[in-house]
Amino acid sequence: MIKIFTGIIEEIGSLSDIKRESDLYSLRISCSKVLEGTKRGDSIATNGVCLTVTELGQDFYKADVMVETINSTTFKNLKRGEKLNLERALSPSKRLDGHIVQGHVDGLGEIISILNHGNEIVYRIKFDSDNFKYIAPKGSIALDGISLTVSKVGEKYFEVSIIPTTIRDTNLINKKVGDMINIETDIIGRYVYNFVNTKTESKITKSFLLENGFWEEIKWKLILLKKLLKLLKRAKLS
């Protein structure tokens, strides 16, 4: 079953150690809250990257990371002591307060400006990637695993408006202009984009959703998605 997350950060952890072991990197993350109810083999989103717990201690967990993942995420710049956003995988009893986050990073963005606008802080992110096409105003996006709403889309950049509480409770409090950040585009946005831009019949079926572990946990969102797809199909035929 695919593990999914909500983008609501549970805890800020700290990288206590990173070691290269053959073709893998071993990370040791100091934390407390996300260890509750967690066992070996469970998934924890770490700065937006879905990692499998290989070892647990009273105040840490370890996870192995492939070199490819290291090189394609902000993990390639990790240093001991760095603060990391942590979230356990969604359980059936947990509310989906954010949006569907898979823990699969689509690319790296660069923070090019941070501006204070009253009670919110606006981050402008440069994202020069083919996946940029999936980003839309008012759509969802995950930055270092944080569920956020896109407030503006420009030429190869987008903006998110963030309240101070979110900044204080995540690693954004340490981010500055020029820093890189992991980006995961919205999976529903991807489906809608592919539906609108293909002439073939949509492959989104109940069987597909059941096989990938979505149906029971997020049924209400999928019902809304089906309605949206019907409207888009009508518009496409008219």
Domain edge (last residue) among 88, 116, 133: 88
What is each CA distance from 180 to 7, 79, 200, in whole angstroms? 18, 14, 37
Q: Are residues 181 and 113 part of one domain?
A: yes
Tell me how many domains the chain contains.
Answer: 3
* pTM, entire model: 0.80
CATH code of the domain covering residue 38: 2.40.30.20
Q: Are residues 70 and 116 in the same domain?
A: no
- For residue 225, what pLDDT is reported? 64
Work out the mean pLDDT of the chain and round it to a whole number.
Answer: 86
**Is there a single domain that holds both residue 167 and residue 212?**
no
The predicted-structure confidence for 155-173, as pLDDT tens digits, reads as follows 999 999 999 999 999 999 9
3-state secondary structure 64-87: EEEHHHHHHCHHHHCCCCCEEEEE
Residues 150 and 134 in one domain: yes
For residue 194, the model assigns a pLDDT of: 75
The residue range of the domain holding 182 is 107-186
The mean pLDDT value for 148-154 works out to 95
- Same domain, residue pair 66 and 19: yes
Spatial separation of the C-alpha atoms in residues 144 and 146, rounded to whole Å: 6
Judge if 83 and 142 occupy the same domain: no
Count of helix runs (H) and strand runs (E) in the chain: 5, 12
**Do 82 and 129 fall within a single domain?**
no
**Do 124 and 142 belong to one domain?**
yes
Question: Are residue 36 and residue 74 in the same domain, yes or no?
Answer: yes
Q: Are residues 182 and 196 in the same domain?
A: no
Does residue 208 surpass a pLDDT of 90?
Answer: no
**Residue 45 CA from chain centroid, whole number:** 8
Residue 64 CB-half CA count within 13 A = 9
What number of residues does the chain have? 238
CB-based contacts of 227: which residues, under 8 Å, 6+ apart?
A: none
**Among 1-5, 54-58, 65-69, 209-213, which stretch is predicted with the lowest mean pLDDT?**
209-213
Determine, yes or no, domain membership for 97: no
pLDDT tens, residue by residue, 27-85? 999 999 999 999 999 999 999 999 999 999 999 999 999 999 999 999 999 999 999 99
